[in-house]
Amino acid sequence: MDKKQSKREQKIARAMEVQGHYIGGMRPGDIADLMGVSERTVWNDLKLARQLNREEVQAFDHEELLGKRLKVFRLIRTNALRDYQLCKEGGNAKAAFLNIALRAEEKITQLLQDVGAIVKVPERVSIEEGNPFSDTEFRQKYIALMKEAKAKGIKIYGL
């Protein structure tokens, strides 16, 4: 039983090595020559490597990885803010700690946006998108009115 498991491990190791050479740009015939196996064995190893990669991806826990990354970035943010408060030096050292905390917060936000946990609010909303008029004259008057309201600082609901 040990020999079969050992042979299996050797076969997997060879398949991954073959895949590495193939991805690196070598042709199957050259890989066969290099490794002292037949070209057919190279193709079988490539097939095995693809299967192993597929199994690894299917078993991959994306939520666990996301949780680990969030935990790391939150720890970085917390430590940077703590170091900022404890820092006796002024200027550059304190600014560096705040910068680290800010970048960690940006990473947290980006991760949560990437998985749809939070939605990115548009930085700028186009007045054209909310224009209810189909008539060109009224569309232009609406846009002018919205621009005037914005210039006066009037809150426009729905935009």
Number of domains in the chain: 3
The domain in which residue 24 lies consists of 2-59
Same domain, 80 and 99: yes
Rounded CA gap, 86 and 73, in Å?
Answer: 20
Comparing CA positions, the residue from 89, 12, 72 lying closest to residue 47 is 12
42-91, pLDDT tens digit by residue?
999 999 999 998 888 788 777 888 888 889 999 999 999 899 889 887 77
Same domain, 99 and 137: no
Same domain, 46 and 67: no
User: Which residues, other chains included, contact 147 with Cβ-Cβ below 8 Å and sequence gap of 6+?
Assistant: 127
Alpha-carbon distances of 79 from 75, 101, 110, 129, 153, rounded to whole Å: 6, 8, 20, 43, 40
Q: What's this model's pTM, rounded to 2 decimal places?
A: 0.44
Same domain, 13 and 51: yes
